[in-house]
Structure 1
Amino acid sequence: MSGYIDVIKERSNHNNVGDDTLDRLLQEKINSLQIEIDSLRKELNYYKAEMEKLLSPPLIEATVLDVMDNNRVLVRSSSGPNLLVNISNNIKTADIKPGMSVALNQRGSTIIELLKQRDDPYVKSMEIIDRPNITYAEIGGLEEQIRELREVVELPLKKPELFREIGIEPPKGVLLFGPPGTGKTMLAKAVANESNATFIHVVASEFAQKFVGEGARIVKEVFEMAKKKAPSIVFIDEIDAIGAKRIELGTSGEREIQRTLMQLLSEIDGFKALDNVKIIAATNRIDILDPALLRPGRFDRLVEVPLPNTEGRKEIFRIYTQKMKIEENINNEILANMTEGFSGADIKNSCVEAGYIAIRNDRNVVTMNDMLEAIDKIQKKKSINKGIERKEKFI
């Protein structure tokens, strides 16, 4: 600073600058330095705060189970066990309610913050944001099944007043059963598309969790989300993963699956048939399902989705081949007669395989011979799979 003043004095003497000019220059410099000091102080405080954040221990998330006496709360921590904890002085006991999410300090002994309610990201990911683009026109050979689903699911969502006027309640849930690849998932997606409802797709095995009570919690949150986003359709695929017949003895994992199933039954019982929430489930093994799932008031409408007959296969071939570049001599009736025992998925694979055969032969058009060769390949693959299944049963 003194060096700067000497320079100013020298320049002022040289230029015959008066004392007033010197004072003004000094004041401007002081103001500039003061601004720089304030800026550096703010930057220092910012980095101190960041250091405190980096060095501070993480908080533990917990769910309130019950508010006890003496300003203590029973919580279930995210790490598993239930804890009896104290409440910080800056939180009012009256603000704490069962079911709320709270933050505990690192030692897990005190509630220091109330967390906002939020949807579990795992559960939220089950919602299909974009509506399924499957339509009834893309499903062949299942006219009767489509009619039943429209009556049970689509009609109550679109025109609930009809049921109130007549005085009946439609089924809450529909169970689609049949061999793999027959179109059960496609039917559920088509209904969601046509009814303009929120579609929540769950594979039942996703309900099976590692920690005790987690599966039941996820079931509960799925149905809470369905109610908030109504009209909605909850589609539970492969429901036999949690809905198998209960046994008295079993491992801890099996008991947890049973608790999850009981929560599912409770959720189905907990809402009305006209609550704008419909449940569609699918299984390949209806024979192993718990009878409690199939009783009236739950999945009381059973819709079988069998392997397609000849007319059904002909319709499915027509649906898939109309999207392909094919020769005019392809006869869907001949193809349908050759594919006895094929599912809709098998027919789709045959069409895809025929396309690959055309590509291998440097052609951009699929011929009848390509289709026949593809069908023969799929039939051989099915024979191998059946042989493996018989061998496993024998073992």
Structure 2
Amino acid sequence: MTFDVAAVREKNRQRRLARLLVVLAPLATWVWVRHVVRGDPISPGLPNLGPDAILWVPGLGIVLVLALVLILPMKGNGKSPHTIYLPEQIDVSFADVKGLGSVSREVQHTLEVFLNHKRFREEMGGNPRRGVLFEGPPGTGKTHVAKALAAEAGVPFLYVSSTAFQSMWYGATARKIRSYFRDLRKIAREHGGAIGFIEEIDAIALKRGAMEGSTARIEAAGSTIERSAMSSGTGGVVNELLIQMQSFDEPTRRVRFKNWFIRLANGYLPAHRQIKAATPGFANVLLIGATNRADALDPALLRPGRFDRILHFGLPNQMDRMELVEYFMSSRSYVDGLDAPNRIKATAARTMGYSPAALEGLFDEALLVALRDGRREFTENDLHQAQMEVEIGLPNPTLYTPEDRETVATHEAGHATIAYLVGKNRRLEVLSIVKRKDSLGLLSHRDVDERHGNTRSEMVASLQIALGGMVAEEEFLLESGTGPSGDLKAATTTACMMVGVYGLGESLASFLAVPDSPLAPSLVARVLDNPGAKAEVESILAGAKTQTSDLVRDHRYLVEALRDALLEREELIGDEILEVLRLAETKALKSGRVVVHLSEDGADLVEPGKDIDLFKAQAPREQPT
């Protein structure tokens, strides 16, 4: 099937060849007549300016230089700042678009309509999409998909950052926008289509009401005058963008001149002899805007006819991340076995919340870790190390005093023990007392499966985990210090959300129902300012601390084991944490420090020499690996 875009491109190519022939034919005829018929060949060389040229050539040169100095900046202020990429310059295709699911299919469907726009308009009677808005968090592939779309379409790609439109001169920004759309229409008619891409379009398309919201109040003689703090040119930029997005089929200069001549002729012709004015041809233009602030855009931009479709680029789910992990690993060096399905699934599971760009950067960091050690392939440990450096920061070994070292180890061991005991379907990943950024130690733990919500018991468990370090200090060191400050902040925020947002307290009233304003306090401040809500927060935190204290007292042997392991090794990763905990459980069982219930036939649930999998009383449950 011949695409409409290809047909238009071939027609324009033949027209350009014919135009070139018409221009060159008279010149070629004149050269042939002079060289062959008259025998007077053309001799190249500089023209003879005469003996007095030295008197007037320098003056003419100065005048030309001054003219260029004055005119070029003015021309530059109104010139479109876009960069044109031809299809052969773009090294991205739809084969490189991974982890987008339905968004990728919708983009390909848009491409099909773009390539067959004439059939869609004339045979089916539809209006092709002229504008598509890509919105979503940074790094989710908006620019990547736009480039792939342009490469697959085989048409020029006009890329521009919205900040490049902005100018210090009044009216220059609007002129640049007009110039950009004029070039977009011109190139689309020449090549059968063109794709324009405006990066971070919110910089020039914010809500006009929001921009005008900054006002100055002047009170005098009993009257009040409110003046907008917005410059007179700012709203005009949005207006210009709105106008241009509805003027894709604006007539060309040739059509305007032809219609001027027709109107002139029609002035002398009777009504039944009037010449019909020419109509502008269809400009096959697709404008793509990218933003991570779609809610801040002017509503007039988002209506059909301007941005006909809004596509949301969200963070990839676990299945999408598995596809991305496999794709990124295919072009990088790694040790054998890392591409096994279970390894890929594990990597995808522990990178929940990563954007495609962040995930790609993680593999590059893993290669850098391997390169620092003189290796050319990264391992799974390199991937773990890179993830810690990206998320937490580079290790910054600190010389602790013996007391501080024991305090930090006890604190982190308390967190890990409570996470092991109450963390439902959570994986313990890293336990460390190595200083990183502002943290003296850390516990990293994640959900085994991707979750999109939490129950009340799970939120209470998160409070207990946050308070585990503080309780461990009080239990083993008899007092707590400044270390738990960050934990208390996190626990207070969670408790406030339970009371003020999720209806998990005594009241079902939501503090989110109160409209936000720029000067309004935060949600946590509003909850804590309410005496009844604050009392509920205090009650939830106190109950969580009491439960945590009971767990730490009943499982001192686990805290001690992790504390001693941290003092010896400083950092435990993944299965190393579970090995320490299970060994401590086995020793405690053999020494009689824990109570194990018997099964109905009187046999022990735990056989000697095997890891403990189940306790029905105080003993913890099995952790997923």
TM-score tier by shorter-chain length is 0.5 to 0.7
Q: 1:266 to 1:236 in 2, by over 3 A?
A: same
Q: For 2:331 and 2:382, how far apart are their aligned partners in 1?
A: 16
Residue type matched to 1:162 in 2? F
Q: For 2:246 and 2:112, how far apart are their aligned partners in 1?
A: 20
SS at match of 1:161: helix
What's the C-alpha RMSD, in Å, of the aligned pairs?
A: 3.3
Q: For 1:307 and 1:170, how far apart are their aligned partners in 2?
A: 29
How far the C-alpha of 1:261 sits from its partner, in A, is 1.4
TM-score norm. by structure 1 comes to 0.68
Counterpart of 1:169?
Answer: 127
Query: Given the alignment, which residue of 205, 214, 231 partners 1:243?
Result: 205
Structure 1 stretch displaced more, 223-232 or 126-135:
126-135
Residue type matched to 2:350 in 1? M
Whether the 8 Å CA contact 1:175–1:282 is kept in 2: the answer is yes
Whether the 8 Å CA contact 2:80–2:176 is kept in 1: the answer is yes
Structure 1 residues 202-260: Cα deviation after superposition (integer angstroms, max 9, x where no partner): 11111221111111111111111111111101101101101111134657764323211
Structure (1/2) with the larger strand percentage: 1
Counterpart of 1:264?
Answer: 241
Q: Trace 1:58-77 onto structure 2 (pairs within 5 A).
A: 58-59=66-67
Counterpart of 1:350?
Answer: 362
Q: Trace 1:65-144 onto structure 2 (pairs within 5 A).
A: 122-123=79-80, 125-129=82-86, 131-144=89-102
Q: 1:324 to 1:233 in 2, by over 3 A?
A: same
Counterpart of 2:320?
Answer: 312
Query: Given the alignment, which residue of 319, 324, 330 partners 2:332?
Result: 324
Confirm or deny that 1:233 pairs with 2:199.
no
SS at match of 2:158: strand
Residue type matched to 2:162 in 1? A
Query: Given the alignment, which residue of 168, 172, 177 partners 1:214?
Result: 172
Q: 1:329 to 1:121 in 2, by over 3 A?
A: farther
Residue type matched to 1:48 in 2? L
Structure 1 stretch displaced more, 49-58 or 260-269:
49-58
SS at match of 1:318: helix
Q: For 1:291 and 1:374, how far apart are their aligned partners in 2?
A: 42
Structure 1 residues 320-360: Cα deviation after superposition (integer angstroms, max 9, x where no partner): 11001111221221110000100011101101101111111
Structure 1 residues 156-176: Cα deviation after superposition (integer angstroms, max 9, x where no partner): 234531342111112211001
How far the C-alpha of 1:144 sits from its partner, in A, is 1.2
Percent identity, aligned pairs only? 30
Whether the 8 Å CA contact 2:137–2:292 is kept in 1: the answer is yes
Q: 1:158 to 1:197 in 2, by over 3 A?
A: farther
SS at match of 1:166: coil
Counterpart of 1:70?
Answer: none
Q: For 1:154 and 1:133, how far apart are their aligned partners in 2?
A: 20
Residue type matched to 1:279 in 2? L
Confirm or deny that 1:276 pairs with 2:284.
yes
Residue type matched to 2:366 in 1? A
How far the C-alpha of 1:275 sits from its partner, in A, is 2.3
Counterpart of 1:340?
Answer: 352
Q: For 1:335 and 1:281, how far apart are their aligned partners in 2?
A: 32
Q: 1:174 to 1:52 in 2, by over 3 A?
A: same
How far the C-alpha of 1:309 sits from its partner, in A, is 0.4
Confirm or deny that 1:294 pairs with 2:302.
yes
Q: 1:142 to 1:254 in 2, by over 3 A?
A: farther
Q: For 2:336 and 2:126, how far apart are their aligned partners in 1?
A: 51
Structure 1 gaps of 5+ residues are 1-40, 63-76, 81-100, 102-118
Confirm or deny that 1:48 pairs with 2:55.
yes
Q: For 2:121 and 2:128, how far apart are their aligned partners in 1?
A: 7
Q: For 2:381 and 2:290, how far apart are their aligned partners in 1?
A: 36
Q: How many residues align?
A: 299
The structure showing larger relative contact order (alpha-carbon pairs under 8 Å, at least 6 residues apart) is: 1
Q: 1:43 to 1:359 in 2, by over 3 A?
A: farther
Whether the 8 Å CA contact 2:80–2:165 is kept in 1: the answer is no
Residue type matched to 2:322 in 1? K
Q: For 2:123 and 2:149, how far apart are their aligned partners in 1?
A: 24
SS at match of 2:245: helix
Q: 1:255 to 1:310 in 2, by over 3 A?
A: farther
Residue type matched to 2:356 in 1? G
Q: For 1:173 and 1:155, how far apart are their aligned partners in 2?
A: 13
TM-score norm. by structure 2 comes to 0.44
Whether the 8 Å CA contact 1:245–1:288 is kept in 2: the answer is yes
Q: For 1:325 and 1:295, how far apart are their aligned partners in 2?
A: 47
How far the C-alpha of 1:311 sits from its partner, in A, is 1.0
Q: 1:55 to 1:198 in 2, by over 3 A?
A: closer
Q: For 1:170 and 1:305, how far apart are their aligned partners in 2?
A: 22
SS at match of 1:298: coil
How far the C-alpha of 1:128 sits from its partner, in A, is 2.3
How far the C-alpha of 1:134 sits from its partner, in A, is 1.0
Whether the 8 Å CA contact 2:81–2:176 is kept in 1: the answer is no
Q: For 1:44 and 1:145, how far apart are their aligned partners in 2?
A: 73
SS at match of 2:389: helix
Structure 1 residues 83-105: Cα deviation after superposition (integer angstroms, max 9, x where no partner): xxxxxxxxxxxxxxxxxx9xxxx
Whether the 8 Å CA contact 1:327–1:366 is kept in 2: the answer is yes
Whether the 8 Å CA contact 2:117–2:284 is kept in 1: the answer is no
Whether the 8 Å CA contact 1:131–1:192 is kept in 2: the answer is no
Whether the 8 Å CA contact 2:81–2:164 is kept in 1: the answer is no
Q: For 1:263 and 1:299, how far apart are their aligned partners in 2?
A: 15
SS at match of 1:151: helix
Q: For 1:252 and 1:209, how far apart are their aligned partners in 2?
A: 19
SS at match of 2:99: coil
Whether the 8 Å CA contact 1:310–1:340 is kept in 2: the answer is yes
How far the C-alpha of 1:126 sits from its partner, in A, is 2.2
Structure 2 gaps of 5+ residues are 1-47, 215-227, 250-280, 394-435, 438-485, 491-520, 523-625
SS at match of 1:308: coil
Query: Given the alignment, which residue of 376, 380, 385 partners 1:368?
Result: 380
Residue type matched to 1:233 in 2? I
